[in-house]
């Protein structure tokens, strides 16, 4: 190239680093503009084609690699990333629901998913109806000719009922209805959604995949090309992009995810078992415990449990007392989300989020982090003393 001015030299360079660099961490490729070789390549560029690049929003080597890895872990074929777990949920709804359609959601569904259903009902001419998470094969009676999608969540991430996913899938498929699973709790480790028959697996990567409490991301994984193509169109139209830096951080978490998950699981069962023996607690809602609603489904379909469970306090304690319990915890942070190294506790007003909630005492949800469970138990014990 002819000699350039200093200003242009600040922008253009002929230097290219040597080819052949290789290392274990995947490269972080950031881009809005993606460069084409020539006009013919630009004209033939297809945003849906994941063997080539068209624009940063539609993927870089970093995001394509994470998508491929997540699909492989879940036993799926295709994956699309979204900027949060919730946007992954809305991608599914906008891909498969249109005015006049019907969607079924479990009563224990992740609350922002319920809120999205309410919005679809109010403003989009879509009916969103709610079903008992333990309905099982009975879902058949709720399916209408206009039902297009059944959401499932296993278990519900506050009240912990484990649904009969196989029965729900069989009944839905008999009527040609797609089943989507929010598989965040099991992280694709303790339950692989396609093994039990679901069509669409959604994850909040914000939780175990990240493990760092430092990013938000979601994913939708599928096996069928036609199902994926509809999702990809919605993904494009909604403009869902993720930061390659965040995608890198999720990949950084993957090698340790199973070890972390198993450590959360062991510690959570230890803390939950200790709580179960306490007189202040009337119920422990942990899918691995026999008295958890849907425990038999967990036993049949899952290989582990992770760190999340809930307890119900005896109704003799007022909300002010159980609030004081939560406020007195020292090792447990007070905040939403889970899957990170830090233990968390959140009290829920179940009457506000469940139409049929029977329990009288306060529900407190625990996320057991990676601290020594003996220290967590000692912390809970001192907080219980404040009751
Ligand atoms: C956290 C969570 C989501 C949403 O994920 P965000 O990244 O926080 O939007 C969805 N479903 C479940 C079960 C979750 O726990």
pLDDT for 248 equals: 98
Q: Which two tokens stand for residue 370?
A: 């990676």
pLDDT for 279 equals: 98
Residues 171 and 145: their CA atoms lie apart, in Å, by 13
Average confidence (pLDDT) over 338-366: 93
Residue 355 has pLDDT above 90, yes or no: no
CA 204 to centroid of ligand 1, rounded, Å = 5
pLDDT for 387 equals: 92
Residue 237 has pLDDT above 70, yes or no: yes
Residues 86 and 60: their CA atoms lie apart, in Å, by 22
DSSP collapsed to 3 states, 152-221: EECCCCCCCCCCCHHHHHHHHHHCCCEEEEECCCCCCCCCCHHHHCCCEEEEECCCCCCCCCCCCCEEEE
Token pair 């074929």: residue: 77
Cα angle 288, 384, 309; round to 5: 20
pLDDT for 48 equals: 86
Residue 35 has pLDDT above 70, yes or no: yes
Residues within 6 Å of ligand 1 by CB: 84-86, 110, 153, 157, 182, 184, 204, 206-207, 216, 218, 337
Residue 356 has pLDDT above 90, yes or no: no
Residues 306 and 185: their CA atoms lie apart, in Å, by 7
CA 287 to centroid of ligand 1, rounded, Å = 19
Nearest residue by C-alpha to atom 2 in ligand 1 = 204
Residues 163 and 191: their CA atoms lie apart, in Å, by 12
Mean pLDDT of the residues in the chain = 96
Residue of 150, 203, 204 lying closest to 180 (CA atoms): 150
Residue 67 has pLDDT above 80, yes or no: yes
Best residue among 112, 213, 264, 308 to mutate for probing ligand 1, ranked by most atoms within 8 Å of CB = 112
Confidence category of residue 1, pLDDT binned at 50, 70, 90: low
Residue 2 has pLDDT above 80, yes or no: no
Comparing 252-261, 297-306, 345-354, the range with the smallest average pLDDT is 345-354
What atom in ligand 1 is closest to the CA of residue 185? 13
What atom in ligand 1 is closest to the CA of residue 216? 7
Nearest residue by C-alpha to atom 6 in ligand 1 = 85
What atom in ligand 1 is closest to the CA of residue 153? 13
What atom in ligand 1 is closest to the CA of residue 87? 9
Residues 225 and 283: their CA atoms lie apart, in Å, by 44
- Name beta bridge partners: 310: 285, 365
CA 224 to centroid of ligand 1, rounded, Å = 24
pLDDT, one tens digit per residue, over 183-212 is 999 999 999 999 999 999 999 999 999 999
CA 89 to centroid of ligand 1, rounded, Å = 9
pLDDT for 49 equals: 84
Residues 106 and 149: their CA atoms lie apart, in Å, by 12
In the chain, what percentage of residues exceed pLDDT 90?
95
pLDDT for 55 equals: 95
Comparing 306-315, 327-336, 353-362, the range with the smallest average pLDDT is 353-362
pLDDT for 352 equals: 86
Residue 218 has pLDDT above 90, yes or no: yes
Q: Give the burial class of 340: count Cβ atoms within 10 A of its Cβ; 0-12 exposed, 13-18 middle, 19 or more buried.
A: buried
Best residue among 90, 151, 156, 157 to mutate for probing ligand 1, ranked by most atoms within 8 Å of CB = 157
Q: Kindly report the pTM of this predicted structure.
A: 0.96
CA 253 to centroid of ligand 1, rounded, Å = 17
């Amino acid at each position: 190239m002819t000699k350039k001015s200093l200003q242009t030299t600040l922008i253009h360079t002929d230097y290219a680093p040597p080819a052949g660099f290789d290392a274990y961490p995947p490269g972080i490729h950031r881009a809005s503009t993606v460069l084409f070789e020539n006009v013919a390549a630009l004209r033939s560029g297809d945003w849906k084609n994941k063997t080539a690049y068209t624009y940063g929003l539609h993927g870089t080597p970093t995001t394509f690699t994470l998508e491929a890895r997540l699909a492989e872990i879940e036993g799926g074929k295709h994956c699309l990333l979204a900027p949060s777990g919730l946007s992954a949920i809305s991608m599914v709804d906008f891909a498969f629901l249109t005015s006049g359609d019907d969607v079924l959601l479990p009563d224990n569904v992740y609350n922002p998913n319920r809120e999205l259903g309410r919005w679809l009902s109010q403003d989009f001419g879509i009916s969103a109806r709610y079903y008992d998470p333990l309905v099982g094969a009975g879902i058949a009676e709720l399916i209408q000719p206009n039902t297009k999608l059944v959401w499932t969540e296993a278990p519900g991430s506050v009240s912990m009922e484990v649904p009969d996913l196989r029965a729900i899938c069989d009944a839905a498929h008999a009527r040609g209805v797609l089943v989507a699973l929010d598989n965040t709790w099991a992280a694709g480790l303790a339950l692989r959604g396609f093994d039990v028959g679901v069509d669409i697996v959604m994850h909040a990567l914000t939780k175990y995949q990240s493990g760092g409490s430092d990013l938000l991301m979601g994913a939708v994984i599928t096996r069928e090309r036609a199902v994926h193509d509809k999702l990809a169109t919605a993904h494009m139209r909604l403009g869902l992009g993720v930061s390659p830096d965040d995608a890198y951080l999720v990949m950084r978490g993957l090698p340790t995810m199973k070890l972390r998950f198993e450590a959360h699981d062991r510690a959570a069962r230890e803390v939950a078992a200790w709580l179960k023996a306490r007189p202040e607690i009337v119920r422990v809602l942990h899918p691995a415990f026999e008295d958890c609603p849907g425990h038999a489904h967990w036993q049949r379909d899952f290989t582990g449990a992770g760190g999340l469970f809930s307890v119900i306090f005896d109704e003799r304690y007022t909300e002010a007392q159980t609030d004081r319990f939560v406020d007195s915890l020292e090792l447990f942070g007070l905040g939403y989300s889970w899957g990170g190294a830090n233990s968390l506790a959140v009290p829920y007003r179940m009457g506000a989020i469940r139409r049929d909630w029977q329990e009288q005492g306060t529900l407190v949800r625990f996320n057991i982090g990676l601290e020594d469970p003996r220290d967590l138990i000692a912390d809970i014990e001192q907080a219980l003393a404040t009751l």
